[in-house]
Every structure is written in structure tokens, then in C-alpha cells.
Amino acid sequence: MADIIQLLPDHVANQIAAGEVVQRPASVVKELLENAIDAGADVIKLIVKDAGKTLIQVIDDGKGMSVTDARLSFERHATSKIRNADDLFKLNTKGFRGEALASIAAIAHVELKTKQDTDDVGTCIVIEGSEVTSQDVVVTPKGTSISVKNLFFNIPARRNFLKSNTVELRHIIDEFHRVALAHPSISFSLYNNGSETFNLPVSNYRQRIVNIFGNKTNEKLVPVEEDTEVLKISGFVGKPEFAKKTRGEQYFFVNNRFIKSAYLNHAILSAFEGLLKNGTHPSYFLNLEVNPQTIDINIHPTKTEIKFDDEHTLYAILRSAVKHSLGQFNIAPVLDFERDATLDTPYNLKGSRTEAPKIEVDSNFNPFQESKPPREQQNSSFKKAPSEHWESLYVGLESKSNGSASNFSELTFESEESTSSLFETKVTPDKANATYQFHNKYIISAIKSGMLIIDQSRAHQRILYEDFLKDITVKEGVSQQLLFPLQLHFSSQELEIVKQLQGDLEHTGFVFSNVTEESIEIKGVPVMVPESEISIILEQLISDVQNEVPDANFSATDLLAKSMAKSLAIKTGQSLQKDEQEHIVNKLFACKEPNVSPTNRVTFITVGVDELDKKFI
């Protein structure tokens, strides 16, 4: 039998490696930014067009590369970060794998310009699909500029799997945030389609967070500091009252490298126990410094997961540090057994001399003696009322009670409203279509063929969804004016999403009085929207736009209607009155698609009489 195993050509091997390294444009951004940081850059500029599908360019002022290094950097397993296997367990750099540039060059058009400070001229290399098309001498400033154009140009199937520009840009901004937060000593800037999105100067860690997420973030931060032999913690956590429905602002950095860890995240949630509302998540920006030899970074292709030698110790230290900070800054109550503030001496009495109280006792007082001599009564400070004529105390009571308008026979007593259970109620013929709420989750109604069971939350979502869709389409949303305008603060990219949806939001009933670079002011809301829910609705809407796909399959209008319906619908566990139950039933079956919710989940089921009869056989 002939041999069937053969070595793959380099360009095919590079495309396979690219499947691990480059999943989307954000993956290219991560690799190029990390290379710029390892090159010792002080200023890094990121330029993207069409969410990175057309162009991703990173310009830095690092030490640059020689002619030989520039050419070798595109070879597989070529890196300047490690020399032997032991270096993998004491890493302080980022791009140590040596496949990033080779993988990127296999699936895109790449142009590299680089120059060292000691050289007069630099090098320009152009590569298309792993093939070097040109290598020339070029005049360029110190550092490196690398442009990645037409990503996945030779793999159309991978390009078709990319999401919309909105979603892909969000992933790019997420990667930009992770790198920029880990290195506040480096200046970063981001340009999207020719406009400046971020300009982050060199600053301290707190100011870097504020520059990214807006000035309003400053008042939300609580500092966390802890230094032990095992772990050094620095950074900030958000105050509980500013917790969000989404997990957006949660960042762990281990030795200046962003990681994801469900275990350490649980330590933070445990520290916030009892301080958060249900369904909300705290924000945190924490830097963890550990010995590089106690962690293994090389366990995941994206290097966002790390294996620790002793996770339990890190968990306990992290939980205690966060809990201590929340107590230290009066965010959480603290037990102090050493001092009771109620026992402190008042300020106006401090330094004054205290005198022992005097106690006077009448030694001649006898409680069993009916009367005393006049002389003793004069000397005694205690006087006893004479017991004679005690009958006079009750004179007139009978006449008052007879003449009073009140009578015990006429008194009425308050009583609790009696409620009967579902099975004690006898359904009379005129109440054949009565509704009942079961476990504050389902609405049960009788029909001719049996019983109808409706999921109250999904049904209400369907009702609101069609109402909002109609208001947006017809542009006749009814608005109620707020007594005082409501000002909400968001980050710059969140405000961009709100601006994109502003027209559709106004058609539903929202009225915007002012939109700035850091906040929006709302003076009118739809009639059915309570003022307390406005910020929650907009946060949920922004999250849905960032995570879902509002492109050819879903319009922005449809997504807006779905998001608002999900936020405003009654929730499972909410008790409903009879008229509310009947209103939901009637409105549901007046909808065009009553069978499913906006997310295509069943809203009701029917149980026939035959099915019930079988249960009793």
C-alpha cells in the first residue's frame, strides 16, 4: 500500500494556524498591540476601517527591527521573547508564541514598515497570502507600522462568518480597552473610519479608567490595595449602587495580562454578598501580581485563561481584600468590638469634672403605715394620698357612659380580607372564563376543549413587542413629560449606539433634550415606562445592540422593540390582579403572532379534557 502521510505546504500550515490565532479582526488587533508593547513603545496608534475588515493598522514608536528581523518575523515559530522551554514559566512579555505575524500574513495583505533608532533608513515588506511580494528600503520614522488589509481575502467562508460591523467593532474596542487598561504608562489612540474614538494620554490607573469609561466613573470607584507574599492586589471595584445588569466592566489583569476567571469572579461576588440587587453584576478593575513561576499561561490559544498553582489561597486573599475595602470606605457595615460610639463623651463635656450623684433616703418611711403624724409629714419628702373617700373617684362614671354616643354593641372591628385558594373556588356558569394565577408565573383560563396555561412574562413581551413595533413604524408613540429632566451618563461607545437609535427611540415616546459627549438628558418617556426603569432599559438596549446581530436578518427597529419589550414586561413571580390577568389574555390573542414570544419561545399551552381524564384512570 502506498504511503498516505505527507507534510503540508507552509502556506496551508499557516492557514490552519491562523484558525487558532485569528478568529476575527479583534484577534489581529490584540496580537499587534501586544507586539507594540513588547517593543517598548511609548505611543501606540490603532487605525481601523469597516470594523477591521478592510484595514487594521498599528503604529508604534518602539525600538523597531533590523532588516533580518523584519523578514524573520513572518516565519512560523519565530519570536524574540523566549529561548528555551524554561522561559515559558517565567514570562513577562506577551507575544511569545511566534505564530501571530505568520498566521496573519497567511490570510491577509500585510505591509510592514520598521526602523531602528541607529539606522538611517528602514525596511518595507509587503506580503500577500504568505508570499513576500516586495522588500525595499524606505524612509520611515523610528518604530514599526504594520497594516493588515482585506482580512480573510483568500478564505471567503471565514469572512462570511464575521458578524456585522457593529458587533465586530465592539470586539475590537473590548481588546483595545483590555490592553490600554493594563498599561496606563503608554499613550493609546483609536481611530475608526477616520474619526478619533479614543485618545488616552499617559496617566495613573484611576485616570485611565475615567478616560475610557467617562468622568462619571470616578465617583463609582472604591480603591483596593493588598500586598502579601503570595499575591499583590491593586485596583478598584465599583460601588454596589452602580452595579449593572450586564458584565461589561469586569477586568482581571495578572502580571499586566488580561485574563478571564470564573473562580476569581466568584470571589468578588462573595465579597459583595448582601450588597447587590438580584441580577446585577459589580464592576471591577483589579491588577494581580504573582510570581511568574506559579502560573501557566500557555494553556489556551487566546492566552486569556491562566492556571494557578494555588487558586484557593488567591480566592481567600482577593475576597478578603475587596470586603475590607468596602468596609473601610463605609460601603458595607463593619463590626468593631473595640469601641462603642454611644459611650463616647460628648464634645461639650470633654475635660469637665464629673461628680458622683447623691442619693437621699427617707429612713422613717413605712409603706404599711396608713397615716403619719403632722410633724412627720412635714419632715418627710414622701406624701401618701389619703385613702378615705375613695368612693368619690367613681362618681359620675355611670352617667357619662349612659350619655355617651359610643356603645360596645356598636363597635366595629377591622378584619383581614379573606382569600380563598384556587381549589376552594366554585366556578359558576357566569364565571366560566375566569382566570387564575398559578405560582405567580402562569395564568390559567378555562376553554371549551380544556384548560389554557399562559406564561405571563412571555405573553406580556409579545404584547409590548407588537405595540412598540407599531409605534416605531407608524411614528405615533405617545410620550409623557418628566417633571425634572433625567440625566444619564454612558461611555463614548455606548453613547454612539444611543445616537444611532435616537430617531427610533423618539418614535416610541422618548424625548431627548440634550445629547453631549458624556451624557444624555431625557425629558419625556413612553407612557407605560416608569422613570425608575429608564436607565435599566437603555443599558439593556445598548447591551443587546452590542451582542446581537442587527444586520440583514434583523433591523435596528426590530431589535429596539425586542429589547424594550424584554425590559418592561412583567416578570416571573409578580402577582397580578384579576383585571390584569384578563387584560393579558385578551391582548395576547389580539396579537398577530400570539403563539410565540419575540425570541420565538412558546407563550402558552393547552391541556385538553381528554388528557386530564387520562390522569384519573
Please state which of the ranges 89-98, 458-467, 470-479 shows the lowest mean pLDDT. 89-98
Q: Over range 269-298, report the average pLDDT.
A: 85
- Mark out the alpha helices in 183-309 (DSSP H runs): 205-213, 262-271
- Alpha carbon of 439 to those of 125, 443, 448, 449: distances in Å? 68, 9, 24, 23
- Which pLDDT value is given to residue 130? 81
Nearest to 28 by CA among 171, 211, 124: 171
Over the range 259-294, which residues count as b (16 or more CB within 10 Å of their CB) and which as e? bebeebbebbeebbeebeeeebbbbbbbbbebebee
Average pLDDT over residues 131-148: 91
Strands in 232-238's sheet, in edge-to-edge order, are 221-227, 232-238, 284-289, 250-254, 257-259
Pairing relation of β-strands 250-254 and 257-259? antiparallel
CB distance 350 to 298 below 8 Å: no
Of 240, 246, 603, the C-alpha closest to 454 is 603
- Grade residue 396 by pLDDT with cuts at 50, 70 and 90: low
* Rounded distance between C-alpha atoms, residue 159 and residue 336, angstroms: 61
What is the predicted pLDDT for the residue at 460?
Answer: 92
Give 165's pLDDT tier (boundaries 50, 70, 90): confident
Best-predicted range by mean pLDDT (285-294, 474-483, 523-532, 550-559) = 285-294
Residues 141, 144, 150, 154, CA torsion sign? positive
pLDDT(547) > 70: no
Pair 34, 58: CB distance under 8 Å = no
- With cut-offs at 50, 70 and 90, classify the pLDDT of residue 366: confident
pLDDT of residue 349: 67
Which residues are bridge partners to 131 per DSSP? Answer: 128
pLDDT at 29 over 90: yes
What is the structure's pLDDT at 206? Answer: 92
Q: What is the pLDDT of residue 421?
A: 45
Closest CA relative to residue 511, chosen from 503, 522, 498, 501? 522
pLDDT at 90 over 60: no
Sheet holding 479-489, edge to edge: 479-489, 519-526, 511-515
pLDDT of residue 184: 93
Distance linking the first and last C-alpha atoms of the chain = 68
Sheet of 450-455: strands edge to edge? Answer: 435-438, 442-447, 450-455, 604-608
- Residue 553's pLDDT is 44
Question: Domains of the chain (ranges plus CATH)?
Answer: 10-200 (3.30.565.10), 225-328 (3.30.230.10), 435-606 (3.30.1370.100)
Strands of 456-599, DSSP E: 479-489, 511-515, 519-526
| pLDDT in the model for residue 489 | 81
Which pLDDT score, from 0 to 100, does residue 394 have? Answer: 65
> What confidence tens digit (pLDDT) does each residue in 239-248 have?
988 888 777 7
**pLDDT exceeds cutoff 90 at 87:** no
Mean pLDDT for 175-184 is 93
User: What whole-number distance in Å separates Cα of residue 154 and Cα of residue 394?
Assistant: 109
The whole-angstrom separation of Cα 325 and Cα 207 is 19
Is the pLDDT at 538 greater than 60? The verdict is yes
Neighbours of 431 (CB within 10 A): 11
Of the pLDDT bands very low, low, confident and very high (cuts 50, 70, 90), residue 562 is confident
Residue 134 burial (CB < 10 Å; 0-12/13-18/19+)? Answer: exposed
Q: What is d(CA 27, CA 148) in angstroms, rounded to the nearest whole number?
A: 12
Instruction: Say if residue 570's pLDDT is above 50.
Output: yes
Mean pLDDT of the 191-211 span:
91
Q: Which residue has the higher pLDDT, 405 or 291?
A: 291
